[in-house]
């Protein structure tokens, strides 16, 4: 399914958990240093990708690329050991493997004692996401480390003409994720991406359990929303796996990047009957806010 078509027809798509970067002292005040920002998770995340660093598929075309870097903790210096790094991307023909047992172009590695990670794969390509949107070439990363909220982000590449018209890649907070591509003498490429993790408020795990389940639209009971827990955060089920939401306090979960074009909010209320009321708010740009109320009994 084309990604843009998927977003428009699932009503709520795309939540990213943010990391707000590190600071340094410039002699007068503290300022951002090695900031790592979040990006949309997208509809095609699959959990359980094999633990492997080499994602090449025999017989598939494409230019080989090494993606590598360091994962660091909130002091911007200390290596983050044993951090889980998940990578997924489209093939050189613009397709995601959303169902096969091969998990093509999907893999998981863990950082070493110095925080290093590395993948060898093929270079992704831009693809038609529908609605006139051509998504620039990009890698998806999900970084999970003890003591930190998960970081969902996307990496783009310098010189891609499609970045300017893409609402996510062209956002100001994505500038540090537009990466230089090194062309090596053997015809392959190399991309370096260092990640800086930062803390953020998290919901208490047992509270999340109370919010999970199947919700029915109070006006049309045939419309369902499934909320589930994974990696310590709430997710909304989609056709592949789900969309991730970040906790914002006061029983509210939302897309963490407030500068994004599309904003969704999930507001939960525990009723006296024991049922849970879910109010979904959706707004694109400065357009009219759309609201849906659903109940889990």
pLDDT digit string, tens, across residues 236-292: 898 899 888 887 766 788 765 544 566 888 998 888 788 999 999 988 777 888 999
Which H or E element spans position 246? strand 242-249
pLDDT at 231 over 80: no
Please give the C-alpha separations between residue 293 and each of 8, 276, 296, 297, in angstroms, as whole numbers: 19, 11, 10, 13
User: What is the per-residue pLDDT for 242?
Assistant: 85
pLDDT at 63 over 90: yes
Least confident window among 1-15, 102-116, 127-141: 1-15
Average pLDDT over residues 28-40: 55
**Of residues 118 and 231, more confidently modeled:** 118
User: What is the per-residue pLDDT for 121?
Assistant: 98
Q: From CA 267, how far away is CA 142, in angstroms rounded? A: 25
Cα-based torsion angle of the residue sequence 156, 147, 53, 158 in order, rounded to the nearest 10 degrees: 10
How does the average pLDDT of the chain come out, rounded?
82
Q: From CA 79, how far away is CA 82, in angstroms rounded? A: 9
pLDDT at 116 over 90: yes
Q: From CA 141, how far away is CA 89, in angstroms rounded? A: 9
Least confident window among 32-41, 84-93, 155-164: 32-41
User: What is the per-residue pLDDT for 204?
Assistant: 61
**Which is nearest to 244 in space by CA: 169, 162, 143, 163?**
143
User: What is the per-residue pLDDT for 8?
Assistant: 32
Q: What is the chain's percent helix, strand, coil content, to nearest 5?
A: 10, 40, 50
């Amino acid at each position: 399914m084309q990604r843009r078509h998927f977003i428009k027809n699932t009503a709520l798509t795309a939540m990213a958990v943010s990391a707000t970067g590190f600071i340094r002292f410039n002699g007068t005040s503290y300022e951002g240093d090695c900031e790592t920002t979040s990006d949309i998770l997208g509809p095609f995340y699959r959990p359980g990708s094999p633990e492997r660093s080499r994602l090449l598929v025999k017989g598939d075309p494409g230019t080989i690329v090494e993606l590598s870097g360091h994962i660091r903790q909130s002091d911007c210096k200390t290596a983050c050991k044993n951090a889980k790094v998940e990578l997924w991307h489209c093939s050189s023909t613009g397709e995601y493997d959303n169902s096969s047992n091969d998990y093509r172009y999907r893999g998981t590695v863990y950082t070493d004692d110095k925080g290093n990670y590395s993948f060898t794969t093929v270079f992704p390509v831009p693809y038609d996401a529908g609605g006139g949107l051509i998504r620039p070439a990009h890698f998806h990363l999900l970084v999970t480390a003890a003591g930190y909220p998960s970081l969902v982000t996307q990496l783009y590449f310098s010189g891609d003409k499609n970045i300017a018209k893409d609402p996510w890649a062209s956002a100001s907070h994505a500038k540090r994720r537009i990466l230089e591509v090194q062309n090596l003498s053997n015809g392959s490429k190399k991309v370096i991406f260092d990640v800086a993790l930062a803390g953020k408020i998290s919901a208490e795990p047992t509270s999340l359990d109370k919010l999970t389940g199947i919700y029915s639209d109070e006006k049309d009971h045939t419309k369902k929303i499934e909320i589930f827990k994974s990696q310590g955060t709430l997710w909304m089920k989609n056709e592949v796996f789900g969309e991730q939401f970040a906790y914002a306090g006061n029983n509210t979960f939302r897309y963490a990047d407030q500068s994004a074009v599309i904003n969704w909010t999930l507001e939960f209320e525990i009723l006296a009957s024991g049922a849970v009321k879910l109010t979904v708010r959706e707004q694109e740009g400065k357009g009219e806010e759309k609201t849906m109320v659903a109940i889990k009994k």
